[in-house]
Amino acid sequence: MKQENMPKADFVVSILLMCFGVWIVIHSLQMPRFKEVGANPFSVPGIVPGILGTVIFILSLVVFIRSLTRKGYWLGLNRQTLKNFFQEISLQRMLLTIFICIVYGILMVGSLNYYLATFIFVLVFLILFQLLGSEDITARGKLLMLSVLQAVLVAGIVGAVFRYLFLVDLP
Amino acid sequence: MIDGFLMFSKALWGFMVQNPVMILYVLGATQLGIIVGMLPGLTATMGVALMTTLTFKMEPDSAVLILVCMYVGAIYGGSRSAILLNIPGTPANAATAVDGYPLARQGLAGKAIGIATTGSFLGSMIGLLLLAFFTPLIGNFALKFKSFEFFWLAIFGIVICGNLTAPKDPLKGWIAGFLGLFVATIGMEPYHAYQRFSFGYMDLSGGIHLIPAMVGAFGFAEIITVMKQPKLEVVKGKIDRIFPRGKDIWKYWRSIIRSGLVGTFIGAIPGVGEDIAAWTSYDLAKNSSKEAEKFGKGSIEGLLVAETGNNSAVAGAMIPVLSLAIPGSAPAAVLLAAMFIHGVRPGPLIMIEFPEFVYQVVAMVLLATTAMFVLGLSMVRPLVKVLAIRRAKLMPVVFVLCVIGSYAIQARLFDIGVMVVFGIIGYFMREMDYPIAPMVLGIILGTILDKNLVRSLIISEGNPLFFFQSPISMIIASVTLLTFFSRTRWFRALKSKIRDSIKIRILRMNNPSR
């Protein structure tokens, strides 16, 4: 992130963190006190998270005040800036990476055969980030073959090492 | 002492001459440890734990030797990924990445690895000497730590780590650290078995496991950061010289010895481990260095002390394991469990029941350290080639390892979800200049803080003066508070005011007529 945008980011994040700190404190206060079993008031479950929530709130408040002095509240959001933001290639690549990693890690592993899921993930990842950027058709063919080979090797070797060397029951 | 030396010599002779197969075990296990440590997603704890299952049927001395080699190798191996990819292989190597990665980006990856290997070797050797000769002394000192001292130690870890990883804005480092401490409170609490912040989910009631959180925060977040860049930068690792120059090392001999001593001392404190050892060594070196401005930008001294600190802590972590049956770190905890499995009973009675075993462990650490040094320097060139691999080819492999590494330790799909969530959080934290290392350290220290804060409050009945009562807690508290306040504007203003007034007084004393 550009340093000139940092006060804006600090402004937004500090509000979120302050809310989070308050949420922790409220939840901590709602936790049982175990008075009926004669528990020591300093051993109640909410005491440590309550203190941590308070510290997080105070530290975030300092960031918030500092962002106000740096005019971080002036977010300057309008349709054009939002449009430009979403058209940034780096943002699209970041979202794509998160998306395919979530699909593999959360959805495919555990539902599909591990070797197959890993093969598909590696191949799709390589195709999306390598092959689509290449314009030379001959190079594309070679890249595709190498990608398939890499996907087979990664799925096979990683799966076999964990299954047969480390005796892990694959997901 | 002479008896100890004789037992050590006998153990070394036994490993090297009487049973040469042991040498193969040492080389194989150390090499595997280096590979496990350097691969993002695989940690020393996981490596030692997985190796425990593989060595279950072996003789006790062979099994423990393999586990020690795996431990030493993995803590060192983590420096490889920290230098080459900016992903610490283990939490202990987070401080290594601060200067190791900038050196790699300057085309000095080979030199950085050579320096890290030498630092690890020297750190281990210093730790080894202290393990052999000062076990009773350090063990007795660690025994003096009570709940107040442990509480302050946890806070000290967060403050110092926040200070170091966010030099521009330590406030963000401290917030990250306290968020990590909060994450550690999720799940069943130790006093009333109440499930905090689990919202009825069985998986959450067991808490957030460190390894998937760390793998996500360091590994997955790095993958997102790298893949976000349209032109994937390939860092070219020119390897002009692998073996570090003697003068490069000799120049920092004071820092090396200090880091070795500090690392071993911190490693010997139960539960604290290699990560705090590395950060503390790094911070001390930075504060006393003549080249403090180079720290964080590729400082040789910074890299050297970080590795000296974490590897000396490995030997240090074994001191309470052997003398008190209390682990000094997470991998040491697994090692302790493995010793019990193999019929060795570490603890206060070990010097009476199994005195040879203590010196056998010292011999094991020496063999592992030597193997690490030889393998570490001879494997540099092939490993630096990792830098030449296009990131788009490397990153899916890293993610596959992150997924299986998170899953393997407990065989829970939930941990993969934890890894992914922490990866996304870690990425946005990086974007907003919130360092990840204090958060991970917070997760490690959270359990120590939770137990000891409650215990301290019960003992003191809420009286804050009790937290400063013992000399040890007073020292740790003073250093912590000084570190904390030294970054505030008013403290710096006060400091410069005091400095100016002292200067004026000195000038007046030297020239009374003015």
In order, the DSSP letters of B467-514 are GG-SHHHHHHHHHHHHHHHTTSHHHHHHHHHHHHHHHHHHHHHH-TT-
C-beta atoms of B416 and A171 within 8 A: yes
- What's the confidence (pLDDT) of residue B389? 67
- What's the confidence (pLDDT) of residue B347? 65
Residue range B485-494: mean pLDDT, rounded: 78
Calculate Rg over the CA atoms of chain B.
23
- Whether B195 and B187 have beta carbons less than 8 Å apart is answered as yes
Is the pLDDT higher at B66 or at B265? B66
- What's the confidence (pLDDT) of residue A94? 93
Is the pLDDT higher at A68 or at B48? A68
Residue B237 binned pLDDT confidence (cut-offs 50, 70, 90): low
Residue B159 binned pLDDT confidence (cut-offs 50, 70, 90): confident
User: Which residues from chain A sit within 8 angstroms of residue B407, using beta carbons?
Assistant: 109, 168, 171
The three-state secondary structure class of B53 is helix
Q: Residue B365: name the closest of B267, B251, B220, B293 by CA.
A: B267
Closest CB to A48: pick one of B174, B399, B453: B453
The interface residues of chain B toward chain A in range 7-36, judged by CB-CB distance below 8 A, are none
For residue B424, the distance in angstroms to the closest alpha carbon of chain A comes to: 8
Q: CB pairs under 8 A, 24+ apart, for B290-295?
A: B295/B98, B295/B99
Residue B55 binned pLDDT confidence (cut-offs 50, 70, 90): confident
Closest CB to B182: pick one of A13, A24, A155: A24
For tokens 């000139």, what's the residue?
Answer: A4
For A160, the closest chain B residue by CA position comes to: B404
Is B417 touching A (CB cutoff 8 A)? yes
Query: Is the per-residue pLDDT at B170 higher than 90?
Result: no
Residue range A130-150: mean pLDDT, rounded: 80
The interface residues of chain B toward chain A in range 49-88, judged by CB-CB distance below 8 A, are 50, 53-54
How many angstroms separate the CA atoms of B89 and B214, rounded? 10
Q: Which of A48-62, B56-70, B125-139 has the lowest mean pLDDT?
A: B125-139
Is B3 touching A (CB cutoff 8 A)? no
Predicted ipTM of the assembly = 0.93
Per 3-state DSSP, chain B is made up of helix, strand and coil in percentages (nearest 5) of 75, 0, 25
C-beta atoms of A40 and B458 within 8 A: yes
Q: Residue A114: name the closest of A155, A153, A152, A151 by CA.
A: A155
Query: Most confidently modeled of A25-34, A79-88, B225-234, B429-438?
Result: A25-34
For residue range A16-65, list pLDDT tens digits in order. 999 999 999 999 999 999 888 888 899 999 999 999 999 999 999 999 99
C-beta atoms of A168 and B171 within 8 A: no
Query: Most confidently modeled of B18-22, B259-263, B441-445?
Result: B259-263
Q: Where are the domains of chain B?
A: 2-469
For residue A79, the distance in angstroms to the closest alpha carbon of chain B comes to: 23
Quick one: angle between helices B330-341 and B44-54, nearest 10? 10
User: Which residues from chain B sit within 8 angstroms of residue A49, using beta carbons?
Assistant: 182, 185, 196-197
C-beta atoms of A150 and B393 within 8 A: yes
For residue B393, the distance in angstroms to the closest alpha carbon of chain A comes to: 6
The interface residues of chain B toward chain A in range 149-178, judged by CB-CB distance below 8 A, are 171-172, 174-175, 178
- One-letter identity of residue A89: I
Is the pLDDT higher at B440 or at B326? B440
- One-letter identity of residue B71: Y
For residue range B98-116, list pLDDT tens digits in order. 888 888 888 788 888 888 9
C-alpha distances out from residue B396 to A93, A123, A129, B392, Å? 14, 9, 10, 7
C-beta atoms of A171 and B390 within 8 A: no
How many angstroms separate the CA atoms of B202 and A86, rounded? 38
CB pairs under 8 A between A and B: 167
Q: Which of B53-67, B381-395, B441-455, B458-472 has the lowest mean pLDDT?
A: B381-395
Rounded-to-10 torsion of CA A146, A147, A152, A155: 140
